[in-house]
C-alpha cells in the first residue's frame, strides 16, 4: 500500500515516533513506524501547496516505504 502524505506539527510527529514502532527485519531493530492511510487528492494538493509556499517542510523517513 502506498503511504499517504500527512501534515504534521513537530510536537505531534515527535510523540508519534516515540510511541509507535515497527520491527525492521533487515536490521533487527525497532524503528519509528510511518502510518498507512489514504487521503483524497485535495489533501495531497494542500500538503504540496504548504511545502511549495514555504509554510511547511518535506520530511523523508529514514527507513523508506515498506
Domain ranges of the chain: 1-66
Residues 6 or more apart in contact with residue 36 via CB below 8 angstroms: 1, 3, 4
- pLDDT top residue among 2 and 61: 61
Query: For 19-59, what is each residue's pLDDT tens digit?
Result: 777 787 888 888 877 766 667 888 889 988 998 999 888 87
Distance of CA 40 to the CA centre of its chain: 16
- pLDDT top residue among 61 and 26: 26
Amino acid at each position: 500500500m502506498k503511504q499517504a502524505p500527512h501534515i504534521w506539527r513537530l510536537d505531534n510527529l515527535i510523540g508519534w515516533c516515540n510511541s509507535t514502532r515497527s520491527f525492521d527485519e533487515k536490521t533487527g531493530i525497532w524503528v519509528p513506524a510511518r502510518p498507512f492511510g489514504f487521503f483524497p487528492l485535495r489533501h495531497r494538493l494542500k500538503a504540496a501547496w504548504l511545502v511549495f509556499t514555504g509554510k511547511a517542510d518535506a520530511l523523508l523517513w529514514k527507513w523508506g516505504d515498506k
